[in-house]
Amino acid sequence: MSTMDRSTTAFQELIGTMRQHWANQLYPALHQRYEQATQGQPPADSAQAGQAVEDLPLYHWFCFIERHYQRMKYSDPRWGLAAALSARPDWVAEQLHPAQDSAYLRLRPELPLPDYYSAIDIHQHPGNLVGADYDGLMYRASATSIHPNTRRFEAHERMAQWLQSQGNFLSVLDMGCGFGKCGFPIARHFEQAQVLGIDLSAPCLRLAARTAEQEGLRNIRFEQADAAQVPCEDASFDLVTSTQLLHELPVEVIARVLAESYRLLKPGGLVAHLDFRAHQPWPQFLIEGHSVRNNEGYLPGFNRMDIAAAYLAAGFEPVRIEPFAETEGATRADWPYWRFPWTLFWSRKPA
């Protein structure tokens, strides 16, 4: 059964089309105006970079689309994802693993949710993934339009391929796994591995567990847990990884997540957190503006923290910080379109 009527489908397709227009036409035009305004006078910092465009109508239109089309995608009272899914409770229930333990799933209803997680609608997602049973389904539907110019979940497939280049891992922890968009590619690429995905969101975990069951993936399971306090023994994993988790945490929690990554790894094990980082004035201005427009208030703190020092403080070898191409050619200097500044932070636990 479809979750959406024709009007809702058309509306959501309009949102996706506007996102493509925003990334592939508005952003190049805005960048060109920025280059013209700063020619011969490179800005000293992100604030100065912003001054070059902040009075342009084009910039205000760019910001309006980023903010309000995301809000409309989720929360439009007629054709938003929340309205469409809340109208189909029986269909939603069919897509989710029952809210009980199984070979694929362990939920902890008593687990306290940190205030930083439950009090903010990150990404403008109503209830921040814990407000309704359909939250995982809504997040999955939304994720298809987040990254223009990539195939569906291409960044996560490429992450799994990169991990393959680093060795053969038999025990894997995927922190902040959501509905499994990175855990599933890892499970498919490492067929001999046992993969554990953890997250705070029960709706996302129920969707992930049902998907694994439907696809017959026997080497992955999901558990409700906090990445800053994981209920697993020391040295349980060869690989600890996450995708787009760190920038959604306060700086002090990031330090605890890195400490947990170290504790949970076997000696010589690999930690690889894929996230965002922008330090040049123009991309820093854009990504930190995005954090305001998309309710990602912890992103600026993560972007400016000394992540290398945090890895060393956790006990790791020096961290390698490398640009990551979410699609072929995306890290080229002449890439013309808007993109997140994907960055891979990886290191090893000393052997």
What is the structure's pLDDT at 108?
96
Within a domain: 68: no
Residue-number span of the structural domain to which 281 is assigned: 154-348
Tokens read off for 5: 């009527």
What is the structure's pLDDT at 145?
61
∠ Cα 45 47 48 (to 5°): 70
Within a domain: 60: no
Does this model's pTM top 0.75? My answer is yes
Question: Is 219 a residue whose pLDDT tops 60?
Answer: yes
Share of the chain above pLDDT 90, in %: 92
124-159 pLDDT, tens per residue?
A: 999 899 989 999 999 999 886 667 778 888 999 999
Within a domain: 303: yes
Whether residue 105 contacts residue 222, with contact meaning beta carbons closer than 8 Å, is answered with yes
Within a domain: 75: no
Within a domain: 254: yes
Tokens read off for 233: 């023994």
Within a domain: 144: no
Question: Is 240 a residue whose pLDDT tops 70?
Answer: yes
pLDDT band at 1 (very low <50, low <70, confident <90, very high): very low
What is the structure's pLDDT at 314?
98
What is the structure's pLDDT at 118?
86
How many domains is the chain partitioned into structurally? 1
Within a domain: 118: no
Mean pLDDT over the full length of the chain: 95
d(CA 333, CA 300): 23
Question: φ, ψ for residue 197 (rounded to 5)?
Answer: -105, 130
Pairing of strands 105-106, 220-224: parallel
CATH of the domain at 334: 3.40.50.150
Max Cα–Cα distance, the chain, nearest Å: 62
Tokens read off for 77: 């009272």
Within a domain: 16: no
Report the pLDDT averaged over residues 177-181. 95
